[in-house]
Structure 1
């Protein structure tokens, strides 16, 4: 793909299924992209799978005469932005992996920024997607787990170590089901895709064709199956509780929801909006707009670049 002369950021999106790298313009356009499956194995095996497409993109930028601003990294948690170390729960080979230092070795003298994957999704939507025009935004990813990120008055909320925004671990029912984090009744234990499917199976739902997953559950709900519809209502109520807590804490005015469960937006939207409309709380907690994410699989890359291009574009936030 031919590149113009405008500066670009190297963006990385690190997940348990795939590793993605891209050259992203200051306008959020993904100009060139490379992906690779996330391999099993030790730290160096995973790094080799990521560094190969990174080197390829750096060569592409050089050949095209592009000025490189540096690198932005969106990663699954947990992490410590103070040291640039990540330990994604879904990448067993990386425990305490010094991602910013290793990427920095490929970009000597240039800045490297690190942020959570859900926060980067929120940044992308805030600047280039459904979140445009909002003042304070919560981005939520409702998928295998539930992640979140806050953009408050245009600036990302990182927290002390970069792990702020884990709204999936808001406890919405202390007597609820156990969560993988060790607590009971977290939103993730109720509203994530696997949690919805598990609950529906416990209530007697059986998918046609024998594959019990979120796609089958959504199809059953659209066909009017009572248990499947109840699973979406239960998930929607949990998400609505997260929204009201987030609104009380940060006075957000918009929530953007992405992820696999949000692909069934026709089912999830009313399940979230109805309990929000009935919430008896303060007016500012009920004025929150809830919208679907629009940037899809590129949101992590676009948001990772936004961590970096703030150095050149004052309206965009700057990482460490």
Structure 2
């Protein structure tokens, strides 16, 4: 008697989309938290881009990634991580660093470009947290925070084993916690963690002190060469990040924080400086026990997390 071998199940993939202050990216992510080779695409955004240019960049990378679907594979759905604030219910985004992209219907745009119904939209900080909890530095922790330190500063929260979304989907937006009192009426982003410690802000601060470089990469090189203003700038960023983590730790009794993003790699010293600031300034003796860890996923984390919105939907709020 002959038997027929069972048919192999098709490879199940998620379309992952990440929209930030300098670029839009898309890739296909498998159920083991891996980007499928040959499916990752990037296009620039940036504060000088028009609303239409940013939308075109997102559509471009989404279409490129979906067109790269391997033969025999199937797409389960789409996950989107975006700089915030977002409106998870309406599917719109209003990134602070993209002034022309306010209240943009990003979920509808990705659905149209990909042909996939009902994409899942969440804050990019929550995506980085999901990625680190799923396959990175935060595996095994139950109360933790993921952070992105780059053009802006974003975050996501895990509390007692569950991701936290909040009333509007913006829980964990650690970059917008205030570290100083306002000195004028109205909003003042210069007193927030992001306003002090994000890459472009700390470069601008160094310029105001007399440093002559123009980018985070140049600041990193100056730091390696011992330039005193570059070192002061990195220490300023680390101090603000440490104080921000201490503030969140006072509220949530954090076990660990994983930090990724381009500016988090300005120097390996950054993490020691952050830890030292927490130890020196934390208002409770219990807070310095928090582990401060570099991302284990490098620049793939935001896309892995966006894919996790589909593959690990059971973790979502």
| Superposition TM-score, scaled by structure 1 size | 0.84
Distance 1:108 1:224 in 2: 52
Deviations 1:94-126 (A, max 9, x none): 332222233334566744211111221121112
Distance 2:114 2:311 in 1: 15
Aligned position for 1:49: 57
For 1:290, which of 292, 295, 317 is the aligned residue? 292
- For structure 2, the 5+ residue unaligned runs are 1-8
Distance 1:58 1:292 in 2: 31
For 1:168, which of 155, 175, 189 is the aligned residue? 175
Aligned position for 2:203: 197
Aligned position for 1:274: 276
Q: How far is 1:65 from its partner? A: 2.1
User: Helix, strand or coil for the counterpart of 1:8?
Assistant: strand
For 2:121, which of 90, 96, 114 is the aligned residue? 114
Q: How far is 1:73 from its partner? A: 0.3
Aligned position for 1:186: 192
Aligned position for 2:311: 309
Structure 1 segment 150-161 matched on structure 2, within 5 A: 150-161=157-168
Q: How far is 1:253 from its partner? A: 0.7
Aligned position for 1:96: 103
The alignment's C-alpha RMSD in Å is: 2.6
| CA shift in 2, pair 1:187/1:58, >3 Å | closer
Structure 1 segment 26-105 matched on structure 2, within 5 A: 26-31=31-36, 32-38=39-45, 40-43=49-52, 45-61=53-69, 64-105=71-112
Between Structure 1 and Structure 2, how many residues are aligned? 304
Conserved 8 A contact 2:164-2:171 = yes
Aligned position for 1:131: 138
Distance 2:147 2:129 in 1: 7
| CA shift in 2, pair 1:296/1:280, >3 Å | closer
Q: How far is 1:133 from its partner? A: 2.2
Q: How far is 1:267 from its partner? A: 2.5
User: Helix, strand or coil for the counterpart of 2:191?
Assistant: coil
For 2:24, which of 3, 19, 39 is the aligned residue? 19
Aligned position for 1:264: 266
Distance 2:145 2:237 in 1: 18
Deviations 1:46-74 (A, max 9, x none): 4343334433433443x622232111001
Distance 1:279 1:97 in 2: 40
Conserved 8 A contact 1:309-1:318 = no
Deviations 1:242-289 (A, max 9, x none): 111111111211111122221124231221111222345434312100
Conserved 8 A contact 1:69-1:111 = no
Distance 2:228 2:64 in 1: 51
Matched, 1:218 2:220: yes
Distance 1:232 1:277 in 2: 18
Q: How far is 1:184 from its partner? A: 4.9
User: Helix, strand or coil for the counterpart of 1:30?
Assistant: coil
Conserved 8 A contact 2:62-2:114 = no
Distance 2:99 2:89 in 1: 21
Distance 1:46 1:202 in 2: 30
Distance 1:20 1:250 in 2: 32
Distance 1:52 1:294 in 2: 28
Q: How far is 1:181 from its partner? A: 5.1
| Superposition TM-score, scaled by structure 2 size | 0.85
